[in-house]
Amino acid sequence: MATHSLGALARRSERALLRIPIRVEGKDAHGNDFVEVTSTLVVNRCGGLIIVSHLLQPGTAIKITNLKNQASCSFQVVTRASRSLSGTPEWGVKSLEPDVEIWGVYFPTRAEEPPQVDVIHVLLECQECFSREMAALTVQQYRRLLAQSSLPRPCPKCSATMNWKLGFVEVELDEVSPSLPVAVGSGATPRQGADLRRDKRLVVKLPLGVRLPDGREETSTTENISKSGLCFASNLEMQIGDRVYVNAGLDSPGEGHDVPARIMWRRPSDDGRSFYGAKLEGGE
Ligand SMILES: [Zn+2]
């Protein structure tokens, strides 16, 4: 019997932290039928991490419908995520119909070992048909995209070369931590939720250095970025309100500029680490 871990699933394609509204139908752990409208937390080509308040039995099948495009297919419950912070159970699920592009995002198969270097994964959107792809760009393509705000590349749906732009992700309300202490240290400015909500995010995976005031540091990649903040996965143990120093971008190590940031939220990652949301504090 094959044991599927979410980490192994995630490695088959890039993952994207996308909050997609879904309807989940099936039987709960007590054998009772249920229907729940909820959302995804993380999606990849063949699965994802979803919030379902009903207790589920790993191994059972559920039906998920993407309420944005009405696509639906069968999934298997793989595991319950540990350390759910919201208190609402989060579940790793695996698609039983991998040919159905349920999330509305095309995920190319990711090369296995060795890990691809000099490739920047970004969520792109075709400007003609608005189909989305978690694209692997060369550094050169990425720089061109930044310089010209769009990149010509083939669109399978349009069957032609089209202009692609970076796909936006709306900031989720519950990721704007309401529990951030007012006094989290000298120099901290109380955050205005409205400011954060206006801030659109891009799914761009850039090399990232994270450094803590106590000297601990780690190399990671961004999961998404915005003008005022970023999200990343880390093994480092950080708490909401902690000050960190981040260095994201294509500069060689040592050349970049460490920017102070503050941890705003955290949640379990699908690979055993934690996702952290941090707000940049530069210039304040
Ligand atoms: Zn297109």
Separation of CA 104 and ligand 1 centre (Å) = 13
Separation of CA 159 and ligand 1 centre (Å) = 7
Separation of CA 133 and ligand 1 centre (Å) = 10
Separation of CA 130 and ligand 1 centre (Å) = 6
**For residue 193, pLDDT beyond 50:** no
- 10 Å CB burial of residue 140 (0-12, 13-18, 19+) is exposed
What is the pLDDT at residue 10?
Answer: 43
What is the pLDDT at residue 231?
Answer: 94
Instruction: Name the E strands within 87-234.
Output: 90-95, 105-106, 119-126, 132-138, 151-155, 160-166, 168-169, 201-202, 204-205, 207-211, 217-225, 229-234
Separation of CA 154 and ligand 1 centre (Å) = 8
Confidence of residue 198 (pLDDT cuts 50, 70, 90): low
The string of pLDDT tens digits covering residues 241-282 is 999 999 988 775 556 678 999 999 988 776 778 899 999 996
Separation of CA 82 and ligand 1 centre (Å) = 39
Contact indicator for 61, 75 with CB cutoff of 8 Å: yes
SS3 (DSSP) at 261: strand
| CA–CA separation, 58 and 34 (whole Å) | 16
| CA–CA separation, 92 and 175 (whole Å) | 20
Instruction: Name the E strands within 139-198.
Output: 151-155, 160-166, 168-169
Percent of the chain's residues with pLDDT above 70: 77
| CA–CA separation, 238 and 217 (whole Å) | 11
The string of pLDDT tens digits covering residues 219-234 is 999 999 988 899 999 9
Please state whether the predicted TM-score (pTM) of the whole model is above 0.85.
no
Separation of CA 94 and ligand 1 centre (Å) = 27
Confidence of residue 36 (pLDDT cuts 50, 70, 90): very high
Separation of CA 128 and ligand 1 centre (Å) = 5
What is the pLDDT at residue 2?
Answer: 38
Confidence of residue 88 (pLDDT cuts 50, 70, 90): confident
Question: What would the mean pLDDT of 155-161 be, rounded to a whole number?
Answer: 95
Residue, of 150 and 117, whose pLDDT is higher: 150
Separation of CA 41 and ligand 1 centre (Å) = 26
What is the pLDDT at residue 169?
Answer: 82
| CA–CA separation, 72 and 95 (whole Å) | 10
Residue, of 61 and 253, whose pLDDT is higher: 61
